[in-house]
Structure 1
Amino acid sequence: MDVSEYYPALLFLIVAVFIGGGLLVVAKPIRPDRPDDAKGSPYECGFNAFGDARRKFDVRFYRVAIFFIIFDIELAFTIPWAVSLRETGMASLIAMIAFLAVLVLGFAYEWKKKAFEWE
């Protein structure tokens, strides 16, 4: 593999950084900047924090979060596979079908065990 094959990706990265930075620089003098108390107030839940910030969360929260991360990462594995499907051929297609079948079976098992239900 030749290093010159990476030039389009490097050019894309440079252009993306240039456009992103340029938009930030251009927007700085023209954007409104009017801070007030309402903008500095708590916004996630609508009321001020109370109690200890280090209190334990319910295990169900972590379980749902881990399920989301697992399925999200597994979905991310399918994108490079889909891009390279022509080069990898039928063996890759069969492997991905098996991978997705295991994923669907795991999802069905978790659904049956009611692992996704909060209450």
Structure 2
Amino acid sequence: MIEEQAELCPEIEKSFELIGKRWTGLIIYVLFSGPKRFSEIHTLIPDLSKRVLTERMKELEGHGIVLRHVIPERPIRTEYLLTKKGNELAKILGPISQWAIKWMKVK
């Protein structure tokens, strides 16, 4: 539970800024079910442009939330998966998705 007099600290502000960026939460949510290739993520979130997806993936990788894994088989493939840090964040998004299904009806 959030304390009434909780003070915002830079870490909390930075976290909400990151999660609040358009598409970031959905990308993390999609990766929670397991590793995905770039094209799979793009297919699952079709309104997300490839340019923005590339930006978000680099940002999430830079924050240690997503790991870019190159599979050296022929043909060479790249998968993205959540790190331990990313999985902990994704667990928080589960209840948000349940809330969304209940309260955010799309007309």
Provide TM-score, normalisation by structure 1: 0.29
Query: When you count strand as a share of all residues, which structure comes out higher?
Result: 2
Q: Which has the larger radius of gyration?
A: 1
Bigger proportion of residues as helix: 1
* Superposition TM-score, scaled by structure 2 size: 0.31
